[in-house]
A and B are shown apart, each in its own frame.
Chain A
């Protein structure tokens, strides 16, 4: 059953992927419900390697649930039921023998910055330590590299020993990004990262993302449609639990849409 699913998806996606690079993530008929209440129904989409894939849509459209299903966070929430197939690198994520190894390949950044109550250094070194990196020199290296890439190094290099949870909101969000990068993810998922961040920091993070796309695939969930326009190659519009439309970002924003609701949302007529 699953093998067949893989085959169909690969076949149908072949022509489209030739131009855009291989498929990193394929979602087939994904439905999510919480205790019987559907949150997302029948989503089909493909995300290609080194693509920034934007997801826009108003609250309660199922964007966050979508991200949670991708790294199997439903495991920690008994009420959350996921149906359908999610293929990461061509393998169904339910067939990954080690779900923790899967999560290490997927970095997550939350809407509100979560500085863990430990030092800046330990925040970034946590994921490598979990996967068994313990040599001080290696850790120093990872911490500096990730903090630099998250555009935070210059601000915290002299106080790596102070508490991560005491940094400013914008710094904490970049710390969260550094932490997500420390696990060397192939896929980075950002869930409305700019909600609690000032505009200047938002622009700095956006610049960071533009650089990161050369090394990884990025899913950018955002409630700022203009942010999707600035960053995303393709954008999906989610509305009340279904995926209304997926298209090239520029096309969507220049009015080239198949569903009037997409145009209305982008134009700000509802939201």
Chain B
């Protein structure tokens, strides 16, 4: 009974947050709010540049981290011998997952903004996000690869399949649901991150849409931070509206992830 109550308590914060956001931010949501530029020093108008900017950041981060992460997981799960080097890599991945996001931000400034000379840009910010979320993709992919029974691989090898043919024909098709789940988790995490992008590519106020990855951009998460704390005279409903849109994006992603997993598990073949 006690445990039931404690479990029920877990739902409370979620409900309170959602209820508050919908109650206070709901009235702010409108066609103009979503598709208009911010005006009058961000105290009025919409969030369109930030919305588009967040999509850019997430998309570019995915383009980098998904191929890299899936390839790394494939190597670790299917090819790597069990030696000190592999164990060292695994240790690094775990540690990478534990690095605070502000440290990632400073790393991003040093590596991408300054050393590689990308400047503060979508590219630098997305690369920082990609590095930060790489462990999510790697761990999710590796786990779903290892969930494919060894007997399937052996059956394939005995037929004269190469390692790569085995992966391509048998292992990957059966691991793809887990990999997709990991990717969507990564998307929802990337969407909400603020610290890694604030020094590397996200702009305080920039009412234009980015045209290339070398532009700066606004982003939802940073915009929320800015109008809640840095700009005087913002009407109350604006930050709540931004927060509501942000959380709606993340929850939609999570729901999609759960739905996809349920759909693919229904089709699970063994």
Which A residues form the contact surface with B (CB < 8 A)? 71, 73, 76, 78, 100-104, 106-108, 110, 112, 114-118, 126-127, 130-131, 163, 165-166, 176, 179-180, 183
State the Cβ distance, B155 to closest chain A Cβ, in Å. Answer: 4
B119-173 contacts to A, CB under 8 A, are 151-152, 154-162, 165, 169-170, 173
Chain A residues whose CB sits within 8 angstroms of the CB of B81 once the complex forms: 78
Which B residues form the contact surface with A (CB < 8 A)? 81-82, 151-152, 154-162, 165, 169-170, 173-174, 269-270
Q: Would you call B269 and A110 a contact (CB within 8 A)?
A: no
**With A78-B81, A117-B269, A165-B269 in contact, is A112–B151 under 8 Å at CB?**
yes
**Complex Cα–Cα for A126 and B153 (A):** 13
Q: Would you call A117 and B158 a contact (CB within 8 A)?
A: no
Which partner residue on chain B sits nearest A104 by CB separation? Answer: B160
Which partner residue on chain A sits nearest B162 by CB separation? Answer: A100
- From the candidates A78, A112, A183, name the one contacting B159 in the complex (CB within 8 A): A183
Chain B residues whose CB sits within 8 angstroms of the CB of A166 once the complex forms: 269
Chain B residues whose CB sits within 8 angstroms of the CB of A127 once the complex forms: 159-160
**With A78-B81, A100-B162, A165-B270 in contact, is A116–B155 under 8 Å at CB?**
yes
**Complex Cα–Cα for A144 and B174 (A):** 26
Chain A residues whose CB sits within 8 angstroms of the CB of B162 once the complex forms: 100
12 A-B pairs besides A103-B157, A115-B270, A127-B159 with CB distance below 8 A are A101-B160, A103-B160, A106-B158, A107-B158, A114-B154, A117-B170, A117-B270, A118-B173, A126-B159, A165-B269, A179-B155, A179-B159
**With A163-B269, A165-B270 in contact, is A103–B159 under 8 Å at CB?**
yes
Q: Would you call B169 and A126 a contact (CB within 8 A)?
A: yes
Which partner residue on chain B sits nearest A112 by CB separation? Answer: B151
Question: In terms of DSSP, what is the predominant structure of the interface of chain B?
Answer: helix
Q: Would you call B151 and A110 a contact (CB within 8 A)?
A: yes
**Complex Cα–Cα for A112 and B82 (A):** 27
Which partner residue on chain B sits nearest A78 by CB separation? Answer: B81
State the Cβ distance, A130 to closest chain B Cβ, in Å. Answer: 5
Chain B residues whose CB sits within 8 angstroms of the CB of A126 once the complex forms: 156, 159, 169
**Complex Cα–Cα for A71 and B151 (A):** 16
Q: Would you call B269 and A100 a contact (CB within 8 A)?
A: no
Q: Would you call B159 and A114 a contact (CB within 8 A)?
A: no
Q: Would you call A73 and B160 a contact (CB within 8 A)?
A: no
**Complex Cα–Cα for A102 and B82 (A):** 27
State the Cβ distance, A64 to closest chain B Cβ, in Å. Answer: 11
Chain A residues whose CB sits within 8 angstroms of the CB of B173 once the complex forms: 117-118
**Complex Cα–Cα for A42 and B105 (A):** 62
Chain B residues whose CB sits within 8 angstroms of the CB of A130 once the complex forms: 159-161, 165, 169
Q: Would you call A103 and B158 a contact (CB within 8 A)?
A: yes
**Complex Cα–Cα for A17 and B19 (A):** 86
- From the candidates A117, A131, A179, name the one contacting B152 in the complex (CB within 8 A): A117
**Complex Cα–Cα for A100 and B160 (A):** 4
Which has the most chain B C-beta neighbours within 10 Å: A76, A102, A176?
A76
**Complex Cα–Cα for A76 and B153 (A):** 10
**With A104-B160, A127-B159, A183-B159 in contact, is A118–B154 under 8 Å at CB?**
no
Q: Would you call B159 and A117 a contact (CB within 8 A)?
A: no
Q: Would you call A117 and B160 a contact (CB within 8 A)?
A: no
State the Cβ distance, A88 to closest chain B Cβ, in Å. Answer: 14
**With A130-B165, A163-B269 in contact, is A76–B160 under 8 Å at CB?**
no
**With A78-B81, A117-B174, A126-B169 in contact, is A73–B157 under 8 Å at CB?**
yes
**Complex Cα–Cα for A163 and B160 (A):** 22
**Complex Cα–Cα for A66 and B135 (A):** 41
**Complex Cα–Cα for A100 and B82 (A):** 24
**Complex Cα–Cα for A127 and B170 (A):** 12
Chain B residues whose CB sits within 8 angstroms of the CB of A106 once the complex forms: 158
**Complex Cα–Cα for A67 and B1 (A):** 57
Which partner residue on chain A sits nearest B165 by CB separation? Answer: A130
Could you jot down 27 A-B contacts, CB within 8 Å?
A73-B157, A76-B154, A76-B157, A78-B81, A100-B161, A100-B162, A101-B160, A103-B157, A103-B158, A108-B158, A110-B151, A110-B155, A112-B151, A114-B154, A114-B155, A116-B170, A117-B174, A117-B269, A117-B270, A118-B173, A126-B169, A127-B160, A130-B159, A130-B161, A165-B269, A179-B155, A179-B159
Chain A residues whose CB sits within 8 angstroms of the CB of B152 once the complex forms: 114, 116-117
Chain B residues whose CB sits within 8 angstroms of the CB of A116 once the complex forms: 152, 155-156, 170
Chain B residues whose CB sits within 8 angstroms of the CB of A118 once the complex forms: 170, 173, 269
**Complex Cα–Cα for A131 and B82 (A):** 30
**Complex Cα–Cα for A27 and B82 (A):** 31
Chain A residues whose CB sits within 8 angstroms of the CB of B269 once the complex forms: 117-118, 163, 165-166
Chain B residues whose CB sits within 8 angstroms of the CB of A76 once the complex forms: 154, 157
Q: Would you call B174 and A131 a contact (CB within 8 A)?
A: no
